[in-house]
Structure 1
Amino acid sequence: MGLTIIGCGYVGQALARRLQPQRPQLGLTLTTTRQERQGALRPLADEVMVCDATDPEQLLKSLQNSRTAVFCLGPKGNQQVDEEGYRHTFVDSFHCLRLLLPQLPQLRQILYTSSCSVYGDANGDWVDETTPASPGPGHGSVLLESEQLLGAINDRTVCILRLGALHGPGRDLDERLKGLAGQARQGEGNTFTNWVHVDDAAGALEAAVDGHWSGVVNVVNDQPIRVRDLVEQSLAHQGLATVQWMGGLEPQSDGRRIRNQRLKQLGYRLLHPNVDQSGVFSANQVP
């Protein structure tokens, strides 16, 4: 079959762990941009390559024996990457892929982990895959441009999975939120957030590969949650002082609530349907 995961960061490595038992049948190849990570990835795959997806020679080599490519891209280095850093990582990579497709006739399936940030603000309303994407300037607009580059490929099966904010081992919400304990914060914390556990991000990708999904699929849990409620649940679980919301400087929008009906219609059953039911606030999730 031949399957390559381009980019083995948080989600890509989680997917590799799920696929690892099948790797002799899959012909699983993993790529990383960092040579020092090859050793850690080698037990998960048949082959590990250093690959910058904007480099035609490296990308061609990583995909030349694969029927399926899963792009789990992420900017290098510091997480605070500017718009040009995102453009290089995502847009330049997919321009490179499109140029190589005539040399990759065996590559029939392409999957990409995008982000629900492409929807932009919806004043707290519900959105789904039929809602026109309307990101503001910045990272969201770059990710939408990346989606459009892939969506214009009409001779391969292309699936774009729009992920919510990720949590799970290594990104435990209790650990991330405990520093807010007892603080006074501007605003009311009314903005909706949409989350997905890394196990479900990887599980949906595996299902998309097996089921030959196409088009756009939102990968989020069942219940959007306001920032205020998320913080208060976490701090209460930890026995910490709550946040005092001061009002003022409230965002212009209540954000968006993202539906996941298509994910369910395609047959995927969430392992972690809600943040308060997923072990997020369990001490055994602390990395």
Structure 2
Amino acid sequence: MRITIVGCGYVGSALASHWHQQARHWLRVTTTREERLRELAPLADAVQRLDAADPDQLRQALETTEAAVFCLAPGGSRQVDADGYEATYLRTMEAVAAVVPQLPELQQLVYTSSCSVYGEATGLVEEDTHPKPREPHAQILRDAEDLLLACRSPHRRVAIARLGAIYGPGRELEPRFRSLAGSRRKGDGSSLISWIHRDDVVATLDWAVEQGFDGLINLVDDEPISVRELIDRSCHAAGLEPVIWDGDNERVANPAAERRISNRRLRELGLSLQHPRLRILAA
């Protein structure tokens, strides 16, 4: 199969490495940064610098592609800046919608979105739960999903994976949270976070392409954890002082504290996770 990965950051690079090791597909990878071309060259048959929001560049990158995987991420350090999200996600999906009619060989589009699109939703959240984006960047992600879903046709499948918070090699959780030891934090830390290991993201994207999956899937592990519990366990494991929470006695309504994102569909599709729970919870 001829595959193009659009965006080779943390997830895209790992996916490219996985497929390179399999040596079963012809692979093109893209990046927005000139300095990464040499780094990515060993992982693919072709490496291309690409502004995916430019329809002409995107069409050329996808011209002979059968499956395209979009692992997009905003550049720079402003990871939740709405303008950066619009430029990265919305403009790219507008370009995709503009060029797919000209790409008859393109049979599948796979896109990594985010569980943040559920926003204000509470209770058990599954793929048919109506998204209620809370923040501007989450609404942009939801709009980008709609643009991609509109590209579906009898001859073209669209798969969207809504990811939890990603961790893995180089993004370990313990150092990040232990640095908060002894600090004072606002609120009560009750917000639940659903996590997913990078290797499970790679395995699921690989499966989606191989199986020609069409539809939505929540890509999270088995057990969400509150911010407070995760920090407390991290600090306790290291013998450090606990965090002091300012809002213990004045708890306010917090949709994120009542939201549990389900991975039931993942299980029903026969997928098993390499990392079903955070390692710190299994200790």
Matched, 1:152 2:150: yes
Distance 1:62 1:238 in 2: 48
Identify the range of structure 1 (156-165 vs 253-262) with the bigger mean alpha-carbon deviation: 253-262
Give the superposition deviation at 1:225: 0.5
**Residue matched to 1:5:** 5
**Residue matched to 2:175:** 175
Matched, 1:253 2:251: no
Distance 1:278 1:217 in 2: 24
Distance 1:209 1:21 in 2: 16
Q: Which runs of 5+ in 2 are unaligned?
A: none
Distance 1:185 1:278 in 2: 22
Aligned residues: 278
**Residue matched to 1:265:** 268
**Residue matched to 1:62:** 61
**Residue matched to 2:141:** 143
Matches within 5 A, 1:126-137: 126-137=124-135
Matched residue SS, 1:102? helix
Distance 1:46 1:105 in 2: 22
TM-score (norm 2): 0.93
Which of structure 1's runs of 4+ aligned residues deviate more than 4 A?
248-251
Distance 2:173 2:37 in 1: 29
Distance 1:223 1:90 in 2: 28
Give the superposition deviation at 1:136: 1.8
Identify the range of structure 1 (27-36 vs 94-103) with the bigger mean alpha-carbon deviation: 94-103
Is this contact kept in 1: 2:119–2:135, CA < 8 A? no
**Residue matched to 2:196:** 196
Residue by residue over 1:60-88, the C-alpha shift from the partner in whole angstroms, topping out at 9 and shown as x without a partner, is: 12111210000001112223452122111
Distance 1:62 1:235 in 2: 47
Give the superposition deviation at 1:40: 1.0
Distance 2:169 2:251 in 1: 31
Matched residue SS, 1:73? coil
**Residue matched to 1:236:** 236
Q: Which runs of 5+ in 1 are unaligned?
A: 282-287
Give the superposition deviation at 1:198: 0.6
TM-score (norm 1): 0.92
Give the superposition deviation at 1:277: 5.8
Residue by residue over 1:9-53, the C-alpha shift from the partner in whole angstroms, topping out at 9 and shown as x without a partner, is: 011111111111234x31111000001001111111111100110
Residue 44 of structure 1 aligns with an amino acid whose one-letter code is L
Identify the range of structure 1 (109-118 vs 169-178) with the bigger mean alpha-carbon deviation: 169-178
Is this contact kept in 1: 2:100–2:151, CA < 8 A? no
Residue by residue over 1:79-108, the C-alpha shift from the partner in whole angstroms, topping out at 9 and shown as x without a partner, is: 345212211111111111111112210000
Residue 217 of structure 1 aligns with an amino acid whose one-letter code is I
Superposition CA RMSD, Å = 1.7
**Residue matched to 1:90:** 89
Distance 1:15 1:251 in 2: 41
Is this contact kept in 2: 1:190–1:254, CA < 8 A? no
What's the % identity of the aligned pairs?
45
Matched, 1:42 2:32: no
Residue 108 of structure 1 aligns with an amino acid whose one-letter code is Q
Distance 2:127 2:252 in 1: 25
Distance 1:95 1:223 in 2: 35
Cα 1:278–1:205 shift into 2, 3 Å: farther
Matched residue SS, 1:180? coil
Distance 1:213 1:145 in 2: 21
Identify the range of structure 1 (269-278 vs 157-166) with the bigger mean alpha-carbon deviation: 269-278
